[in-house]
Amino acid sequence: MLMEKGLVENGFIIDLSAAQNTTQLVSELNSIIEHPDVRRKNVCLKLGSLDLKQSQLLSIKALIESKDASIAFVDTSSEQTEASAVSLGIVISKVSEQDIQQNLNENVSEETATEGTGEYNNEENRTVEITPEIELPTGTIETAEGIEDIYDEMSTQEISEVIPSETFNSSDFGSFAAQEGLLPTEENSKYILLDTGNVLPEGIEENSSDNAQLPTLYLNQTLRSGQTVNYNGNIFIIGDAHPGSEIIATGDITVWGILGGIAHAGSEGNITSKVRALKLNAIQLRIAGLYARRNDTMNVPYVQKTNEFTPEEAQIEDGKIVIYKKLRRN
């Protein structure tokens, strides 16, 4: 997965190859990325020969992303780290000695000069594939647009036979609400679309490619608050995704457990992407360019009883996010 040399602005090399173990590495990294200059930069990590597991690399990635920065690529001589990086969709490349030398001369801040091992450099000679950060516009307006929740206790139909009973059209409802002087509320729907406009990054078009062709990241762990997974492909998680966690995939997201955080499927515009979970409690559901929030009226217990699970699946239909529940056969 080597990539071509080119130009990248806003880049940094962080040399962590001197670290003996992960604890050292993380504390070193921590002290470097505390620096305010790191914000919104692409970070090139030099990891040396240290073996890092997928979960460890994932948390390092999360750490960097928590500072508003992103990983441009990693430079490692360990096979395990390389495998972990590949499985997380992180680009692997080499930092040349020249780059470091050049950067050292150009730009070393006082703080890092005394750090010793951590080189903290401005890097300008690379092309990096970075998914632009998607940010929710602040002050979103809640509009009642059609999102249906199809659930019929009595029915024994298969999921494919469930047909949305009635759909709201945003314009219909808006004019109706205006006439009646009502606030748009929808007691019954589980998710309400956010009026975020076109949130797809520039240059990315809506598409409906086949997610089955994409690679799948398989994670056997519970995601806790603050942990994020970002993958170029499908994501499959065995475990819960706690509130405060974030899952972003260019393909489908499947959680074998309770999905309580934020899930964004089809993050690069694939409108056929789906989000599935044994229990779909996501704070926000995002599919391609559509963002929806959990309805405030939805009553989520602190702890879900496992025997109450009915697998759910969210997908886009006619410009709305529709949630299907898999019904139990009686």
Partner 1 sequence: MTGRVIVITSGKGGVGKTTTSANIGTALAKNGYKVVLIDTDLGLRNLDLLLGLENRIVYTIVDVIEERCKLKQALVKDKKNPNLSLLAAAQTRDKTAVNAEQLKDICDKLKEKNDFVLVDCPAGIEQGFQNAVAGASEAIVVTTPEMSAIRDADRIIGLLNTKEDINSTKLLLNRVRPNLIKSNEMMSVDDVVGILEIPLLGIIPEDTGIITSTNKGEPIVNDENALAGKAYRNVAQRILGEEVPFLNLDEPKGFMAKLKNAISKLKVKV
Residues at the interface with partner 1 (CB under 8 A)? 21-24, 26-27, 30-31, 34, 55-56, 59, 222-227, 240, 242-244, 302-303
Least distance between partner 1 and beta carbon 82 (Å) = 19
Radius of gyration of the chain (CA): 22
- Give 144 or 223: the residue with its C-beta nearer to partner 1: 223
CA separation for the pair 158, 150 (Å, rounded) = 12
Q: Is the dihedral of CA 14, 18, 20, 23 positive or negative?
A: negative
Least distance between partner 1 and beta carbon 224 (Å) = 3
- Give 69 or 290: the residue with its C-beta nearer to partner 1: 69
- Give 60 or 314: the residue with its C-beta nearer to partner 1: 60
- Give 200 or 248: the residue with its C-beta nearer to partner 1: 248
Q: How far is CA 250 from CA 196, 208, 217, 240, 271, in A?
A: 19, 11, 11, 20, 10
CA separation for the pair 201, 109 (Å, rounded) = 33
CA separation for the pair 1, 102 (Å, rounded) = 25
Least distance between partner 1 and beta carbon 128 (Å) = 25
Q: What single-letter amino acid sits at 32?
A: I
Least distance between partner 1 and beta carbon 243 (Å) = 7
Least distance between partner 1 and beta carbon 22 (Å) = 6
CA separation for the pair 77, 69 (Å, rounded) = 23
- Give 113 or 159: the residue with its C-beta nearer to partner 1: 113
